[in-house]
Each structure stands twice: as C-alpha cells, then as structure tokens.
Amino acid sequence: MSAALPQNPSRRSVLKGLGMAVLAAGPLSACAFGSDDKPANNGPTGTVSANNPLGVAANAPLEVVIFKGGLGDAYATEVHEPMYKKAYPEATIKHMPTQQISQTMQPRFASGDVPDVIANSGSDVMDNGALASEGQLLDLTPLFDAPAIGGSGKVRDGLLPGTVEAGILSGKPYLMKYIYTVYGLWYDQALFEKNSWTPATTFEEFDALLGKIKAAGLKPYAYAGKNASYYQYWMIAITAAKIAGNQVLIDMDNLKEGVWTSEPVLKAATAWAEIGKKYLDPSFEGLTHTEVQTAQNQGQIGFYPSGSWLENEQKEQTPATFKYGLTPTPSVTSSDKLPFGAVRAAAGEAYIIPAKAKNPQGGLEYMRMMLSKEGARGFSEKTGNITVVKGAADGLPLSPGTKASNDALNKAGDNIITYNLFEDWYKEFETELRAKTNALMFGRITPDQFCKDVQAKADAVRNDSAVTKQNRTS
Amino acid sequence: MRMPRGGARFVISFLALPIIIYVIFVIAPYLQAFYLALTDWKGITASPKFVGFKNFEVLFSDSVFWKAVLHHGILLLVLPLVTLIIALFFAFLLNMGAGTKGVRGSRFYQAVFFFPQVLAVAVIGVLFQAMYRPDKGGVLNGLLDLVGVEPIGWLTKPNLALWMLIAVLVWQAVGFYVVLFAAGMASIPKEIVEAAQLDGCSKGRMFFQVTLPLLWDTMQVAWVYLGIAAFDGFAIVQVLSVDRGGPDGSTTVLPLEIWRNAFTFSKYGYASAMGVALFVLSLTFAVLTLRVTRRERIEY
C-alpha cells in the first residue's frame, strides 16, 4: 500500500522526526506485484498435429483455478477438465476452486508460481488492466486463430460478435470472455399470456400496450431510480443505436462533439421521456433495483429494463408461475438503421492465462475446449448461462429467461448493439448521466435539456486534461 | 506550585504515546491532505505532479461544490437550532416540568430518547428507508394511505429531500442532547431553584432566567458539536438519498463529494482540495462560535 502513496516531504520529515517512518512504511509495503523479471517461459511443447494444433505436451500437468461463486465449479470438474483428460490421458490436472481469486492469486503472481488457467471473477477479482500492463497475461491470439474443435474454421469464427474485441486490452486479446449477457426489456411471459398481451415492436405499439397494462391495474414500466438509473440510460443508448447504428455508441465512448445533441439521441431520449411521463410511477425514483425487481416478481410491474443475469439474481423471490421473457427495445421509426430484433449483447466473465504459466500451451488448449460446442453446451447445462459460442445452447432444456436470451440472440443474428465503454472509462461523466436520466424520465427536464446537459458534461470531461482519454474504433 | 523532582519527565512519558499516536493518525494525514490538494494525484502513481492551486481554482468554479456548501449552510442554521430547542424542551420537562423532580418516569424517557444515539448510522439508514419508502409500503405513506392521501416522494422531490434528511439527523441527535442538558440541569443547585420558586417565579420565567443562563456552557459545547455534525451528514445522505446526493444534487454534501471524487472518479488531488476547504469551513465555524458566544461564567 505505502508504495502507492506519493512522495511527501512534509509527512516524511514529520515521521522521521518521530523516528516512526520505518514503522509506518515497513510491513505495509508488500505490494501486489514483485519485481520478478523472469522472462515468460514457453513451457513444454509437443508435436503439432491436426488434433493438437497448439502443440500441447501430452504429459505436462495443468493447473486450473476456478472462481467458485454463482456459477459453481462443476462446469470445470465435470465438463472441461474431463474433456482435457480424455484428450491427454497422461496429463495430471490440478483443480483449485476459490472464492477469493485476488487473495490467493496475487501472492502467486508475485512469486512467479502461477497456474495455467484462471477464472478471474467475483468481488475479489484481480485488475485485468493492471495485470496486462505488468506483462503478466498471455496473448490469446493463437487460441482464437487455432482451428475450432469439432467445427470448421477458426475458433474466432464460431464466437458471437464482439467476443474477441471484449477481451482486448491495449490492443491485444488478453482475456477470454466466456458468458454472453443480453440486454432488453424483461416481463413475465405467463402474465402476458394470461392477459393476451404481446410485446410491442414499435414505440407506438409500446405506448398502446403500456396503456392496456396500466388499465389492468399494473405499473406498466419501471426502473430503479435510487441506485440503478443506468439500466434506463442503457435503454436510451440502445434506442439511439437502433435509430442510427453502433457508431453513435462508439462516438459516445470517444466523447465526440455533439453526439448527445445529435438527432438519434434526441429522438431516443424523447421516446423514452414520453414513456416516463405517461407510465412511470414517481415512487420508482426512490426505490432500489431489488425492491423494483421483487415488485415485478409479485406481478405488479409490466416491463423492466435489465440484463440476462436478472432471472438468476431473482431466483429466490420468483414464484414458480413466473416465467421471465425478454423483448428487444421497440423501434422508433420505420427507417431505423437496425431492425427491431437487434439487441445489446456483450461478452463477460474473463478467463486468463498468466504469461509465466508453466504449461501455457495446455492453458490455451483448455480454453479451446471451453470454446468448443461441446464444452460450451456443457457449461450452459451446468450453470444455466449462455456462452459466447454461437448456437451451443440450442435445444438445451434452459430456464425460461435463458431460453428467451438465447432466442433473442438467434433472432438478432449479426445485429448486435455494442456495449458502452464510457461506463468504465469516464466515471465522472457516467455519474452525471445517471442523475440526468432520472431528471429526464421523471419529468424534471425536457429531452432537449437532457441532451444539452449531458453533452456539456461530455465536453467538460473531454477538455479536462486531468482525465486520461481512451479511444475505440469499433 | 513546583513539581517534585522528576515529575516533568514522568508526565511527559505518559503523554508521549498519545501524542505520537495523534500525530501519526491525525496530524500527518492532515498534512498529507494539504499536500495532495496541490497535486493531480489519481491514486496510483508514486509521484504525483504538483499543480499548485489549480485544484482550488477548479473547485471555486464547480457548481456542485457550491451546492454542497449551500446545503451545509442550511444544515448549520437548522440542525443546531431545531435540535437544541427540542432537546432543551424535553430536558426541561424531564427535570422540572412538574415540580423540581420532573415528570413521572423521567429516567425511562431519558433512556428512550437516548436510543437513536446507540444505533449505528447504517441501522438508522435502513430504518428510515422503511419510513420514507416512496410507495404505499412505506411507514409514512402507509399511514397517509389510510386517510386517502396519495404517496409522497419524501426523498424524490428535490425541494423536500434535504429537509427529510435533516429530520433524520435531528431525530438522531436529540436524545444525546436531552441527556446532556438534563445532566446540566440536575447539577443546578437546588437553593437557586427553590429561591426562585419562593419568589413566585413562573415555569417559563424560571427556564429563561435561571435554567438557560446556568446551562450556557453546555449549550455552547452542544452548538459546536452540532455545527460540526452539520459539516458531515455523509452516511445518512449516502444511504438514504436518491442516486447518492440526488435528486439532481439537491441533497449532496461535501464529504459525499470528497468520497465520490476520490473513490469513484479517482481524483484524489481534487478530493483533497475539497477536504481542505471543508477543514477550513469547520475550523472557522468552531472558532467563530466559541468567540461569539463567550460570556462571563456564572460560578456555582
């Protein structure tokens, strides 16, 4: 910790005067990464063949570290590790589950004794950006360029759009993002069937449908203003992208001049503000996401904007009769650039291979098996989540919500709306956007004002030399 | 009086440890914050760039900062005043409202009034979340619903939210000052009270002309404590307010902005500058209060 403190003459001299400097700095200075400059070893290699394109040494041991959280670790011990064992019977696999990735892995990174594959997840996740900039991660390009198992073409060809890109740090694919999250409007299929409501494809239909739901005594639309107003600005961004394509979102991330005041964003904000004005109960501004989501489970709410983790998050509160369904956001105009079926989807949950792994080829091969249809299908069976592998979950007995996500993805095809990176890049901007989203949706400012205010903040951040700027091209 | 030989050394040896601890954990961080306020530190690099007073220039033209300062101004006026009036009223009732003994069961009431003080701030936050819940599930709105009033967004109306938060702060603080004043009143000599009563002094007059002047020292301390509390408010605002300091920044306070700038925006240098501003504000307040309210002490 103390290595992170700045040089501070006044503090130094004060402490020195007291003879306490050593006491204060000594035991705390054990920092995250040691100065182990051992060059990345290439590990043992075997003969490259059609079945072994990465040249794995058949007898080299493999160590796999899995974050054992909501997904469990059965997908590794019962699916991926047996696959590896079957292909390389001579190899011994060491499986290590942990709930504290950072606490168990950082000391090992410091000493250079690292495993071959890590599921870097959970609340104690290691900072991938820091690992990459310290040269601790293996470039996964060979994995994505290797031939896919049991399919034709390369591994990267069998993945859903945006998967490889989601794992790029400073220009190189260091992360293998495995789970695919789909965003949209969630509702109770059973409730909708009972009332013969069908999700709308245009904002006009949406308006009419929400009117019907309201007439039935429900709150037709809700999001949690107290702590999750970003769920709502996602919808505004998604709608803007539907109108004018992904470039709008890329421009937002690049803090481009005038993007928030541009016509697609203004149209999207206007469409959603209208929904807010007519159908959003003012009490939702003061409720948390848990409270609103539970109210939906109790049959009080029509649509709720969120991502595909929702069903799993609400498992405890959801009655058996409740069946999560997902619909894409409605279209604004008939000349929208993206079709109604377009959904925002993004790859998440990073798996990494340390640059100094003892068996990096084995690690890459293990990931290649994870990304095979068989491996991905097994993962979906064990965890109920869909992976980045195209069509791997088709035909599986999935939960209603997961099936809805999978169907939405299949319908969307290549019309995938990109994720906004400003959420991680420019927190100050993001905080302002949250506040303005509430103000817009609960009718305190006009769409015009919303666009102007948000653009003003974007301009301020762009002109703030103290903020490190990022850039994306796709 | 001369100290016995070796006495000074003896006293110093006892004082050294607390002073060293104080210097390390209070003075040194303060000095460090003053230094950081002049840098652009982002919390990562080992050697931040020195930027002079740039953080303060930005700060003084930052509308969020001024909004927070305004809220502290309101808190500073309302919180001590309302708390002191309520606490004095209760304490007077408990002690001499009915004769010199106070109302029946006054000790019980004192304990009850003190309860909020024992609760952790997080507990109070959760408690008032239930009180202020903006739909019919809330305690207040549930009661209103019984008489047919539509739910009120206690914390979602920008004009109302800050006042509702001040109410929580007052509720939390009153008990402590009731006990403090009750103790102060109990230590007022019986002779003075009895003499006043014999002279036919009414209860109201007794309060203003006997109790209050004799409680002046306690009041002064209470005012400074509450004033300093008015420069905080972080936990309650953070837990209860919409979007942390909202809606539209209508409840934000400086400690919250410091926290946000440091831990969310990674602008540690700027956050430190805010911290310095807060330090100056609270110090000025404390010094001014002690100066302005200085009076001749009544010895008894």
- What ranges do the domains of chain B cover? 63-292
CATH topology of domain B63-292: MetI-like fold (1.10.3720)
CB contact (8 A) between residue B156 and residue A283: yes
Residue A138: partners with Cβ closer than 8 Å, 6 or more residues away: A40, A174, A352, A353, A354, A355, A357, A360, A363, A364
Question: A218: which chain B residues are within 8 Å (Cβ-Cβ)?
Answer: none
CB contact (8 A) between residue A282 and residue B134: yes
Structural domain ending residue among the three candidates A387, A413, A439: A413
CB contact (8 A) between residue B46 and residue A229: no
Which contiguous run of DSSP H or E holds residue B36? helix B28-36
Distance between first and last Cα of chain A: 37
**Same domain? A267 vs A387:** no
What is the predicted pLDDT for the residue at B2?
Answer: 59
The reply to whether ipTM tops 0.85 is no
**Same domain? A146 vs A216:** no
Structural domain ending residue among the three candidates A397, A413, A429: A413
Q: Note whether A200 and A209 are within 8 A (CB).
A: yes
Beta bridge partners of A186: A304, A326
pLDDT band of residue A10 (cuts 50, 70, 90) is very low
Least confident range of A225-239, A378-392, B197-211, B216-230? B197-211
**Same domain? A393 vs A335:** no
pLDDT band of residue A32 (cuts 50, 70, 90) is very low
Nearest chain B CA: its distance from A184 CA (Å): 22
**Same domain? A211 vs A146:** no
Cis peptide bond upstream of B247, omega within 30:
yes
What is the predicted pLDDT for the residue at B1?
Answer: 53
pLDDT band of residue A25 (cuts 50, 70, 90) is very low
**Same domain? A222 vs A335:** yes
Q: Does B17 touch chain A (CB under 8 A)?
A: no
**Same domain? A450 vs A312:** yes
Least confident range of A39-43, A88-92, A244-248, A431-435? A39-43
CB contact (8 A) between residue A286 and residue B32: no
Amino acid at B291: R
Nearest chain A CA: its distance from B2 CA (Å): 29
**Same domain? A252 vs A359:** no
| A-to-B residue pairs, Cβ atoms closer than 8 angstroms | 105
CB contact (8 A) between residue B247 and residue A285: yes
What is the predicted pLDDT for the residue at B90?
Answer: 87
Work out how many domains chain A is built from and give that number: 2
Cα angle: A19, vertex A23, A29; to 5 degrees: 135
Question: B267: which chain A residues are within 8 Å (Cβ-Cβ)?
Answer: 428, 466
Q: Which two tokens stand for residue B170?
A: 């007052």
- The position carrying tokens 């204060």 is A24
> Count of residues for chain B?
300
CB contact (8 A) between residue B154 and residue A427: no
What is the predicted pLDDT for the residue at A34?
Answer: 38
**Same domain? A143 vs A242:** no
Residue with the larger pLDDT of the pair A95 and B94: A95
Q: Roughly what angle, to the nearest 10 degrees, separates helices A427-441 and A230-244?
A: 90
CB atoms within 10 A of CB A152: 8
pLDDT at B227 over 70: yes
Of B93, B92, B78, B80, residue with least CA distance to B214: B92
Antiparallel, parallel or unpaired: β A117-120 and A62-67 = parallel
What is the predicted pLDDT for the residue at A368?
Answer: 96
Domain extent, residue A107, equals: 62-181+346-413
- The predicted-structure confidence for B168-187, as pLDDT tens digits, reads as follows 999 999 989 998 988 888 88
Share of chain A above pLDDT 90, in %: 63
Task: Indicate the SS3 state at residue A195.
Answer: coil
User: Cα A272 to chain center, whole Å?
Assistant: 24
Task: Indicate the SS3 state at residue B257.
Answer: helix
Q: Determine the residue among B19, B156, B159 to mutate to test chain A binding: the one whose Cβ has the most chain A Cβ atoms within 10 Å.
A: B156
- Looking at residue A4, the DSSP 8-state letter turns out to be G
**Same domain? A384 vs A447:** no
- The predicted-structure confidence for A400-444, as pLDDT tens digits, reads as follows 999 999 899 889 988 999 988 888 788 889 999 999 999 999 999
pLDDT at A16 over 60: no
What is the predicted pLDDT for the residue at B182?
Answer: 85
- The predicted-structure confidence for B14-36, as pLDDT tens digits, reads as follows 889 999 999 999 999 999 899 99
Of A423, A422, A426, residue with least CA distance to A461: A426
What is the predicted pLDDT for the residue at B102?
Answer: 61
Assigned domain for A469 exists: no
**Same domain? A288 vs A437:** yes
- The predicted-structure confidence for B78-131, as pLDDT tens digits, reads as follows 999 999 999 988 888 887 644 455 667 777 888 888 888 888 888 999 999 999
